[in-house]
Structure 1
């Protein structure tokens, strides 16, 4: 494993680690829908949505409210040695994990819907999508 791979592995927390981090920081669980957990802080603004299954956790049925305004958010997917993690740059605190890339994409879609519903429920503005992404091909350096 290269040093970059090791750093990525450390930078992509498991669901249980993400939960531990937000709870240690004072965020409190306010809603669970399927494998999605939402946290609010008594003093800090915003919502943290963590999507993904902890070890041994069964996936429950349930779908969030749909995003009816047709917004399209850019997601970033990172692969670790054990799973895939996804986040939404335009929706801070909205993250998901999955065993496969497809699982992570599905989970982050559900997390986005739940996250937006929570923002609206608490009278907070829903951020407009601004981020974009592209892939750049780079020729290998001559050696």
Structure 2
């Protein structure tokens, strides 16, 4: 999730085109959940395989 100057946005790197934007974090979390479900349902209905996760999250510690 990213916070902009007037809104919040989210995207799913492993599901191209799956994005959401809203006025609050809570709204974006709800919208991105719905967007993921919608995209995956469409992929299944078209007979395609679901994308395999390729992204990862890593954290590093910086001593500054």
Runs of 5+ unmatched residues, structure 1? 1-76
Q: Is 1:85 paired with 2:2?
A: no
Which residues of 2 match residues 55-66 of structure 1 at below 5 A? Answer: none
**Alignment partners' CA distance in 1, 2:60 and 2:26:** 22
Equivalent of residue 36 in structure 2, options 97, 105, 112: 112
Unaligned runs of 5+ in 2: none
TM-score when normalising by structure 1: 0.41
Q: Which has the larger radius of gyration?
A: 1
Bigger RCO (CA 8 Å, 6+ sep): 2
- Secondary structure at the counterpart of residue 55 of structure 2: coil
TM-score by length of 2: 0.84
Superposition misfits of 4+ residues, deviation over 3 angstroms: none
CA RMSD of aligned residues (A): 1.4
Q: Which residue of 2 aligns with 1:99?
A: 23
